[in-house]
Amino acid sequence: MTRHFLRDDDLTQAEQTTVLDLAERIKADRWGRKPLAGPQTVAVIFDKSSTRTRVSFAVGIADLGGVPLIISTANSQLGGKESPSDTARVLERQVAAIVWRTYGQAGLVEMAAGTVVPVINALSDEFHPCQLLADLLTIREHKGALAGLAVAFLGDGADNMVHSYLLAGATAGMHVRIACPPDYSPADRIVADADAIAVQTGGSITIHTDPLEAVAGADVVVTDTWVSMGKEEDKAARVASLSSYKVDAAMMALAKPDAIFLHCLPADRGYEVTSEVIDGQQSVIWDEAENRLHAQKALMVWLLEQ
Ligand code: CP
Ligand code: NVA
């Protein structure tokens, strides 16, 4: 049966581990697997801007022996004249998988329901699950294991990265702490889903308004832009509300001495994180950005084998 990757909890804990193990092997032997030999084509569709996602999917698909077809919705029929399900019916006759960066999650759900090829969420307003595979791979590389680690996210709690940290972190058995102002809280139903997963995996979910409480003794400190794509008009209000959640050296000093810092990038230096932290010894952001490639290749290999 076709499997899709629309949100982080589409993978069970065992499946998440399988994909991360595969990513580690693929990283060590970059051109060793060619499931897209033919070459087969993978459609990679963008409704929003991207650097890392565009490059890592294009390079990853090529590494796997395939051809990436990068489509911008601005000059395609999707998003205006044609529905996600009709688009999927056209694409599935010609491509091996569909990767889509979009706004609402509902479009991805519709696309996946209407096709026999795997659909991968390359970021939506609600989730960024491919980024989380890269983040977990990076954390595992630096910390050895995921279960039992405390990860603190500071900033916009309603952000797609937070929702993905809640679900993917809970799946991995991590203790996920989110620090955000009440007006920027994660969606209740996603917190509830993450709670239910954490009960099974031994992880936990806590939502804090005090950033110091969340970061105290953390193994991993994470933030993301305060102004996600689509929220640009709201920038001044966001900066005013979120400024006490900035990750600076004093904040990092409250985490464990060997804590690592992650950011999916792009960063607004001086806003959600200082240059001192993002360029500092504890930052693993360049490993994290590279790991998009290896994690997504593993995901594609795994999905194509289901
Ligand atoms: N982290 C990430 O998804 O970056 P891009 O927006 O550049 O793809
Ligand atoms: N939360 C950010 C992530 C960018 C990769 C956004 O949606 O713009």
Mean pLDDT for 91-95 is 98
Active site residue 180: no
**Position 149 pLDDT exceeds 90:** yes
From residue 67, give the alpha-carbon distance in Å to each of 19, 35, 96, 289.
22, 12, 10, 22
- Quote the Cα angle for 113-46-191, to 5°: 60
Distance 91 CA to ligand 2 centre (A): 26
Report which of 120, 73, 117 is spatially closest to residue 95, judged by C-alpha positions.
117
**CA-closest residue to ligand 2 atom 2:** 228
From residue 14, give the alpha-carbon distance in Å to each of 10, 11, 19, 161, 234.
11, 8, 9, 22, 40
Q: Considering every ligand atom, which ligand is closest to the CA of 263? A: 1
Active site residue 292: yes
Identify the band that residue 79 occupies on the pLDDT scale cut at 50, 70 and 90.
confident
182-202 per-position pLDDT tens digit? 999 999 999 999 999 999 999
**Residue 299 contacts residue 118 (beta carbons within 8 Å):** no
Active site residue 224: yes
233-287 per-position pLDDT tens digit? 999 999 999 999 999 999 999 999 999 999 999 999 999 999 999 999 999 999 9
Distance 58 CA to ligand 2 centre (A): 19
